């Protein structure tokens, strides 16, 4: 993804529209995602780099399900 479009692209659905960007506010014209324009752009850059989970950053190791195996039956 060209860096020039990160401020016009929705970090949630990937829709790109210059109208989504309104000053410092980003409101996706497709899915309605609302975010700070800089935050949205940063998320797009991270998504492009394959690191798009910054919003709910949790270093949970892949394959570790220790916290979800509480099932008394």
Rule CB under 5 A: say whether 10 interacts with Zn ion: yes
Any idea what DSSP says for residue 15? -
Helical spans, DSSP H, in 1-73: 37-48
Gyration radius of the chain over CA positions: 16
Kind plus residue range of the DSSP H or E element containing 59: none
CB of 51 to Zn ion, least distance (A): 19
Biggest CA pair distance of the chain: 54
CB of 36 to Zn ion, least distance (A): 15
Please identify which residue in 7, 12, 27, 39 interacts with Zn ion, judged by CB under 5 A.
Answer: 12
CB of 10 to Zn ion, least distance (A): 3
Q: Which residues bind Zn ion (CB under 5 A)?
A: 10, 12-13, 15, 28, 30-31, 33
């Amino acid at each position: 993804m060209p860096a020039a479009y990160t401020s016009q692209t929705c970090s949630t659905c990937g829709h790109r529209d210059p109208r989504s960007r309104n000053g410092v506010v980003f409101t996706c014209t497709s899915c309605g995602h609302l975010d700070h324009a800089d935050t949205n752009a940063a998320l797009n850059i991270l998504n492009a780099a394959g690191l798009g989970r910054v919003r709910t950053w949790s270093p949970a190791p892949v394959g570790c399900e220790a916290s979800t195996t509480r099932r008394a039956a």
